Chains A and B, each alone.
Chain A
Amino acid sequence: MAQALLRLCCYIIRDDFGPIIEEVAKVLLQKGRLPLVSISKFSKQSVSKTRECLFVLIQHNLVYWAETREGSRNSIHYSIDQNEVLARVNFGIYIKYANEWVRHRGADEITYYMLLNGKGTFNGFIEDRNISKRTNSERYLTPVRITDSKSAQDKASEAEQRELAKVTNFIPTKKQMAEKRKINFDSIERPTKQQKGEDPIDENQYYRVNYEKFNAKSRNRQIVEFVKAQINQSASIIAKVVLDIVDDEKPNDVESYAISAQRIIRSVPIEKTDLFNQQMQSARRGVTREILIKQYLDYLVEYDDILRKKDENMGGMYIIRYNEICESLKKEIFEDVIMEKYGFKGVRIVRLLYEKGKLDEKAIVNIDESFRSSPKAYRINERGFCTNTSNLSSCQEVPRSADRAPSRTFYLWDIDYKKCYDVLLNNYYQTLANIHQVRFDYESGASKTPRKERKRRCITTIE
């Protein structure tokens, strides 16, 4: 996992910044937190060049720096954040959908400008104040503070040093240190909430794109596509309305706050009522718009728990459990991959093992008789083996005799979906890195294939 990730991060940085900065970033990715001199030594660059590379990486929010006191000297340590590097893969999606998500024309240009420069100000750039207000108030862009240059680890260790400095009269024990560390996490600076009504736009304030917000929007888009594919377009419109309403607040990974059915009904566009009527057969004729939308909401509650009904106040309060929907999305992707690679039989075995737990070959044959064939359970063995070699399934031996003879041992097959998701993610990273490698080979002319120029255009379009 780490190897594929490292390779991909290096290719991403080479793609955006060039090979020299890639060398510096590679050292930080491999070795962790280092001072300037060590980085320059490992990357085989001069100190000045290394410093310039680090400036670029800091500007683009990839590298953190922190000044620490070592004896009588102050030294600066640099560390790189892998997640920030990976986030660069999604930049294309952010720019493409910025207008739609921010609901304002020109948002894509601002996003493009911010992503191109890492951080930017609104100084003399924006004439229309509305868009800057909206991007700021809905937190698509966040202001950059001086403390953002430090990683979470640096902040924690600074706070620990401050607490230790207060303690002068005794040597703390392990327990006391642990208690101090607990308090420290609370005292780490939190961003101050801006007062409502103040003009938040300071022309000299630097801003950066808030990846969390854009990722949440992207996740919502995937949820709407999922509902559209599983149910129909009307249900996806209603799901989109619900997601847009709950998205106004801080993105929460687990579940949203409850919204009332009345609020949802008010927000659904009226012109879609005909479509809703056409796509749901109601119990009786002549239902009103309100009842129709409530029917759709109840359908979403019944179908796979896309929405959850909390209580009956104000016509029904609904919540979305993001983590459960994300699990369904991941499961769908995983089962699609199994279907493409191993066919229907593979999907059946995987779902069977997921629902029933650890199973012996005989038990699998008993439940799903289509696997019974001669030689006995050979097909299961083959399927299980295939998935085992790709690290998807695992086998547990349960010996029946003390000598653990294979003929007198139960072999229980099992599948852990979380582990499979990690394997799949690793495969994705590896594939992305391979595509990058092919692209760089073409650009350097290393591989000899005809129609080079058109191919280069094709590859850049993919990126």
Chain B
Amino acid sequence: MQKSEVTEDDWMVWDVINSRGQVFVDEIKIHELIQEILPDTSWEIFQDILLNLYEVGLVRKRQTHDERYMYQARSKETATKLQALENHEFEIYELIENSERKGISKTDIQKQIKLVQSLVESSLKNMQEQKLIKEVKPKTKKLYMLFDIKPHDESLSRLLYTNGEPDTFVVESLKSICYNFIYRRSFPRGMDEDAIFYPNYNGYVTLSKVVQCVQETKVTEIEIEEADIKQILDVLIFEGKIIKKFISNVDPNSMKTDDNRSDSQFVYIAKRARNINNAWTQAPCGRCPFFENECTENGEISPSTCIFFPQWLNKAINMIQNDEENEKGKDTLDW
């Protein structure tokens, strides 16, 4: 890595990029933003600053499809470590960095970098010692990735998985906690049991509130992440117990800043529990394992020889007899 000095202007530009967080920012956007702190900076000078930052290792560079560049800030500690690397080691580091959470194997690195194998290996070893990268083995295959990010597989998650399998007990208990919380907040209290909120009510539950609730119950010591709870809620949506709605609460009087974007968001509303009253599954044919293929009109298995029909009919007879004794007098049978 070339060792060049970082000027004050460079630091200011780096601050601007760093303030955007862990995202890639378009260079035109950066140029607009630095006009406030470094007015009248020409495009050429700006590009020199960016080049300097890149060479020192303080920013990552990526090219868009229409030949512009985007930049993302790196931390100062990483940049100092990168300064100590050789050029080829820096190239390998960039490859590993670009693979992000997926990781990249040694063979892929060698294909792209076209160096001698021993050189690649020694560079990787050097970077591992410096704690820039780490080795992971998700599926008996060695992959390399940056030291401080979580590999793809592990992210799903320590909370819900034990030994690579979903922990059904944890999942079920979290599901019931989330569902009960959402159910309580979806219908008004202190009124009729079937009461509902008025339309455009904006007090429904959001994801962050659910996470907060689960954290407060202290069900587990493991850290509860939003992604885990989102998964649980997705399962509840697919089971038909809750629905997800997009509610926009844009206040026309307030200033349009980034904070207001969070007001328009997804909320979760519980559906009422209802009895499943399907007539077909209450009849014997609805639950019979032979209904689809084996049962025919005159075959060996047929309605005439069915063993389930008499049981069903006997049950109905007993119900009618009980009703007659209790003098309820129903007109139709409610199965």
Contact = CB atoms under 8 A, between A and B. Distances in A.
B191 interface: yes
B199 A348 contact: no
B274 interface: yes
A313 interface: no
Contacts of B285: 427, 430-431, 434
Given A230-B271, A369-B166, A372-B166, A282 B240 contact: no
Contact of A337 (B160, B234, B280): B280
Contacts of B2: none
Interface stretch (B98-106, B215-223, B291-299): B291-299
A230 B272 contact: yes
A427 B291 contact: yes
Interface stretch (A149-157, A172-180, A243-251, A295-303): A295-303
Contacts of B281: 336-337, 340-341
B306 interface: yes
A435 B309 CA distance: 9
B23 interface: no
Interface in B270-295: 271-272, 274, 276-278, 280-281, 283, 285-287, 291-292, 295
- Determine the interface band of chain B, counting residues with CB < 8 A from chain A: 35 or more
Nearest to B172: A370
B278 A336 contact: yes
A451 B317 contact: yes
A450 to B, nearest CB: 9
Interface in A370-408: 370, 372-374, 389-390
Interface string B191-222: 11011111111000000000000000000000
B165 A372 contact: yes
B1 interface: no
Interface in B5-36: none
Contact of B194 (A233, A301, A372, A427): A233
Nearest to B245: A302
Given A299-B199, A459-B313, A279 B156 contact: no
A368 interface: yes
Which among A231, A233, A235, A340 has the greatest number of chain B C-beta atoms within 10 A?
A340
B163 to A, nearest CB: 10
A368 B234 contact: yes
A280 B195 contact: yes
Contacts of B138: none
Given A336-B276, A340-B286, A372-B166, A278 B195 contact: yes
Given A229-B272, A431-B285, A437 B297 contact: yes
A370 B276 contact: no
A232 B272 CA distance: 9
Contacts of A431: 280, 283, 285-286, 291
Contact of A279 (B195, B309, B332): B195
Contact of A348 (B156, B171, B195, B235): B235
Contacts of A389: 292
Contact of B192 (A279, A370, A424): A279
Nearest to A298: B199
A231 B191 CA distance: 15
Chain A contact surface mostly: helix
B306 A438 contact: yes
B164 to A, nearest CB: 8
Contacts of B316: 458, 462
Interface string A309-341: 000000000000000000000000101110111
B199 A295 contact: yes
A235 B303 CA distance: 43
Contacts of B156: 369
B196 A299 contact: yes
Given A347-B240, A351-B240, A370-B171, A337 B278 contact: yes
Contacts of B304: 437-438, 441, 446-447
Contacts of A74: none
Contacts of B201: 283
B198 A299 contact: yes
A424 B198 CA distance: 37
A368 B166 CA distance: 11
B286 A373 contact: no
Nearest to B306: A438
Interface string A6-25: 01000000000000000000
Given A231-B272, A232-B195, A430-B285, 5 more contacts: A281-B198, A337-B281, A370-B166, A390-B292, A441-B303
Interface of B: 156, 160, 164-166, 168, 171, 188, 191-192, 194-201, 231, 234-235, 238-240, 271-272, 274, 276-278, 280-281, 283, 285-287, 291-292, 295, 297, 302-304, 306, 309-310, 313-314, 316-317, 320, 331-333
19 contacts: A230-B274, A299-B199, A302-B199, A336-B281, A339-B276, A341-B287, A347-B239, A352-B238, A370-B166, A370-B171, A374-B165, A427-B285, A430-B291, A431-B285, A434-B285, A434-B303, A441-B304, A455-B313, A459-B313
